[in-house]
Amino acid sequence: MNRVKEAVLAILFMLFTLSTFAQTGSVKGKIIDAKTKKPLEFVNVSIRAIETQKPLTGTVSDSTGVFRINRVKNGTYILSASFIGYKSVEKEFTISPTARNVNVKNILLEEDNQVIDEIKVVGQRAQMRFEIDKKVFDVESNISQAGGSASELLENIPSIEVDNEGEISLRGNSSVTIWINGKASGLSADNQAQILEQIPAESIERIELITNPSAKFSPEGTSGIINIILKKNRKAGYYGSFQIGADILGGYNTSGSINYSSGKIESYLNIGYRQRKSGSKDYSDRINLDDQGNPVSYLNQNGRRDRKGGALFTGVGLTFHLTQTDHIGIEGFGHFGNRNSNNTIRYESDVPGSFSSSERISNSDNSSKGGNVNLDYKHEFSEKSNIIARASWDLWVSDGTSTYKQHSLYQQNKEISSWQKQESDNRSQSWEFQADYVNQFSEESKLETGYKGTLSRQKSPVETYSGETETTAVFDELLYNKYSYNRNIQALYVTFSTKVNSFGLQLGLRGEYTDTETKSLGYERTEATAHPYKDNYFSLFPSLFLSYSLPQNHEIQVNYTRRISRPRGWQLNPFMDMTDSLNISFGNPYLSPEYSNSFELNYIKTWEKHTLSVSTYYRNTDNVIQRIRYREGDVMKSTSANITQSSSAGAEIVAKNKLLKFLDFTTTLNFYYNELEGFSYLPADADAPVTGERDDNFSWTGKIIANAILPHAISLQATGSYNSKQIIAQGHREANYRLDLGARKFFFDRKINLSISVQDILNSRNWHSITSGNGFKQDSDSWRKGGVFRFTLSYNFGNMKASKQKQQRTSEGMNNIIEEF
């Protein structure tokens, strides 16, 4: 009898459940950028009852722009799609017994870049937006960097730091990959600082931060990828712009662009020239110690460097739409520049047998040229399946001549002079071949697979002439070096992503085979007699991404990737650079790559005027490459070595807040803990091993960007940043801070605008480090001149004017701003 009751109750329960689900349905659709026609990821989609206007539930779009909300009861609702930087869109739909599964199809979102004509209040495009695998920063509205360089622009992007030598780090880690337009484009760790200093900021459209890339992307760089996207707008018709600017140090810049697009052809041309002048100072105080750690002597130095140089940067692109499904494009950019640097160093010392004072004057002239050419072909099998084939070629050439003149005073008024000239000819070129296939089986599932081959070649011969004076200088056989570095990488990848209700999954695997060969030839050595160092290895890089959408616009993401950081070319070159006789540096051809396991947990919540992103991350790294220093007599030597393991954990908080109708803030806080294990390393020519104790510390950085839109077409911007104390190999770096300001005024229906900016207005950005090792303690500091004012005037032409209907609509939407004043 009990079993009969249980069976009846079970049947009644199933009938009740079925009747409940029979009264519910679902709504789905796809979010698309109205301008680019590309799907938008991570768009917030919510529904509310049309009668009560009460919010009910929501979700976010996936990597293909698709969204789906299940278990919606019968009734009529309003669906709302919102995304930072875009105008919100609403649609009405009804769930009924005859229409349980509603497809609203494509929802087009337009960028929220308003032009106010009547009241002269100008809106700015949102500077930051979140996508499922990256953060995107639109930099066209970055006022404080108008007239600057790409390197200076990166300094104002959250999570990125740039030191005084141009080295870039992401979340406190300098092992980061820099791309231009989604590929290496010839940039390497050896040349990127010089190139980024000469690319005009006006040529950049946006910057993407990919902190934990999936298996689809290159695993190079343990901290992630910084992707610089150059301008190549493709609106119908023609339009363009022209800019001129100057700064108080004597630098100036000019640039122009023009775009033309029709049904069959899309094209763009950008060209810019930038002349730059800058100054910097540095000092270093070194105390030499005996075996018991007691001071025995000192060597202090103070330096001043003045730099100037100019660079021409140009980009051009053509896209041909051959058919509805076949597209071919060719694009490229070129760079032509020169740079002169004058450096004066004054020494004081009481080292026995050494000079008591000395002055070293160096002058260097460098010219550089290079660029990238890219050819790609896209075939669309269907709306959900396509293949893209790409081939690109990069060439970078840097020629330089440096002279060094030193005059030293010894005891008993003994004087010694020396003169050196060093000539270098650095050349690097690479080829990339890539094919990517995408097949979206359904709105929830997608397969991506592809191949990428990279062939890189570098040569950097150096010749030196030495003597007491310029007239007596002769060829120096000991300072001759002919270095070559070849690296080939073959990679295959596959990723699969799917979504079931609110749960998303992406699995990926990438395999890379790398072969490298380095040669360092001294004087009278030939290719036949040289013994190259070769290193061939195969590596697998898995990735896993999980996401879950919660009600009320909450999203949680968890991901894991394996990363690699290969040694840089200069780190492998064993040639001893003795141009500074007291500071000798050389590379290590036996370096191995670093490998990292990276984990992230991300949470994002969006309100109408606020967005909050919280990311926690953990990364452990083996074979950490660090620069080490050790003393031999009066000489300080430095090289690179795989010395230890490291781990870091942190939390990054990014908030976008619109506090008033005319004021918004983008705030980034990054808290992280670093740990370096202890090490003991014996260089080949050292008498005693270089040791380091285990070291750890807690560091944090903060950056805030404030934008204000005022009446009379005026906008203001302030960017402040702070870096706390951080550990480095054999020591630490002290805290520093910086403040940049900018203002912009539009004239004549937004066709002309004037920007005024000042960088590092407090002149507070310096890099102060304290290090110690076997037989020494050293305190060093360097800083560039701050308080640099810039002025930039821009003129826009072509079909840029908004329609009267749009002007009227946006004017009505901004009337409330006037009331604030």
State the SS3 of 447-477: EEEEEEEEEEEEEEEEEEEEECCCCCCEECH
Nearest to 508 by CA among 449, 457, 586: 449
Res 802: pLDDT: 37
Shared domain for 400 and 505, answered yes or no, is yes
550/556 Cα distance (integer angstroms): 8
**Which sign, positive or negative, has the C-alpha torsion 494, 651, 137, 432?**
negative
pLDDT tens digits along 428-470? 899 999 999 999 888 778 999 999 999 999 888 888 899 999 9
Task: Identify the DSSP state of 479.
Answer: G
| CATH number of the domain encompassing residue 596 | 2.40.170.20
Q: Which residue(s) pair with 258 in the sheet?
A: 240, 269
Cβ–Cβ under 8 Å, residues 620 and 563: no
239/259 Cα distance (integer angstroms): 5
Res 455: pLDDT: 95
Phi and psi at 196, nearest 5°, equal -65, -25
Mark which of 62, 77, 109 sits at the end of a domain: 109
Res 22: pLDDT: 45
Shared domain for 356 and 417, answered yes or no, is yes
Shared domain for 351 and 420, answered yes or no, is yes
Res 733: pLDDT: 84
pLDDT tens digits along 587-602? 888 899 999 999 999 8
Res 280: pLDDT: 87
**Which sign, positive or negative, has the C-alpha torsion 65, 71, 75, 77?**
negative
Beta strands in 551-609 (DSSP E): 554-565, 583-585, 594-606
Shared domain for 648 and 740, answered yes or no, is yes
Cβ–Cβ under 8 Å, residues 29 and 444: no
At 20, which helix (H) or strand (E)?
Answer: helix 2-22
Between CA 721 and CA 725, with CA 723 as vertex, the angle to 5 degrees is 165
Phi and psi at 691, nearest 5°, equal -120, 155
Residue 232 lies in a domain: yes
Residue 782 lies in a domain: yes
SS3 content of the chain, % helix, strand, coil (to 5): 10, 65, 30
Q: Which segments of the chain have a pLDDT < 50?
A: 1-4, 6-22, 114-125, 800-821
Residue 648 lies in a domain: yes
25/68 Cα distance (integer angstroms): 11
Shared domain for 257 and 185, answered yes or no, is yes
- pTM of the full structure: 0.71
Shared domain for 24 and 55, answered yes or no, is yes
Shared domain for 564 and 603, answered yes or no, is yes
Residue 121 lies in a domain: no
Nearest to 118 by CA among 801, 813, 808, 709: 808
Residue 119 lies in a domain: no
Shared domain for 444 and 571, answered yes or no, is yes
Q: What is 219-243 written as a DSSP string?
A: -BSTT-EEEEEEP----SEEEEEEE
pLDDT tens digits along 357-393? 999 899 999 898 888 899 999 999 988 899 999 999 9
Structure tokens belonging to residue 62: 């996936």
Shared domain for 615 and 689, answered yes or no, is yes
Shared domain for 746 and 680, answered yes or no, is yes
* Parent domain of 375: 131-325+337-379+389-519+532-815
Shared domain for 354 and 256, answered yes or no, is yes
Q: Is 633 exposed, middle or buried (0-12, 13-18, 19+ CB in 10 A)?
A: exposed
Instruction: Please list, in sequence order, all residues whose beta carbon lies within 8 angstroms of the beta carbon of residue 17, skipping any fewer than 6 positions away.
Output: none
Mark which of 109, 140, 166 sits at the end of a domain: 109
800/750 Cα distance (integer angstroms): 9
Instruction: Please list, in sequence order, all residues whose beta carbon lies within 8 angstroms of the beta carbon of residue 696, skipping any fewer than 6 positions away.
Output: 673, 674, 675, 676, 727
Residue 770 lies in a domain: yes
Nearest to 720 by CA among 735, 706, 734, 700: 706
Which 3 state secondary structure label does DSSP give 806? helix
| Number of domains, the chain | 2
Which 3 state secondary structure label does DSSP give 181? coil
Res 111: pLDDT: 77
The distance from CA 463 to its chain's CA centroid, rounded to whole angstroms, is 35
449/438 Cα distance (integer angstroms): 7
310/197 Cα distance (integer angstroms): 10
Instruction: Please list, in sequence order, all residues whose beta carbon lies within 8 angstroms of the beta carbon of residue 214, skipping any fewer than 6 positions away.
Output: 133, 495, 506, 508, 543, 545, 559, 561
213/215 Cα distance (integer angstroms): 7
Residue 274 lies in a domain: yes
Shared domain for 646 and 558, answered yes or no, is yes
Q: How many CB atoms lie within 10 A of CB 174?
A: 16
Residue 96 lies in a domain: yes
What residue type is 49 in one-letter code? Answer: A
What residue type is 677 in one-letter code? Answer: E
Residue with tokens 């309100």: 607
99/24 Cα distance (integer angstroms): 10
Cβ–Cβ under 8 Å, residues 767 and 783: yes
573/485 Cα distance (integer angstroms): 9
The distance from CA 279 to its chain's CA centroid, rounded to whole angstroms, is 25
279/786 Cα distance (integer angstroms): 9
**Which sign, positive or negative, has the C-alpha torsion 208, 212, 218, 223?**
positive
Cβ–Cβ under 8 Å, residues 195 and 236: no
Alpha carbon distances (Å) from 389 to 226, 392, 451: 23, 10, 10
Alpha carbon distances (Å) from 799 to 116, 561, 745, 807: 16, 45, 21, 15
| CATH number of the domain encompassing residue 75 | 2.60.40.10
Pairing of strands 533-550, 503-521: antiparallel
Structure tokens belonging to residue 449: 């697979």
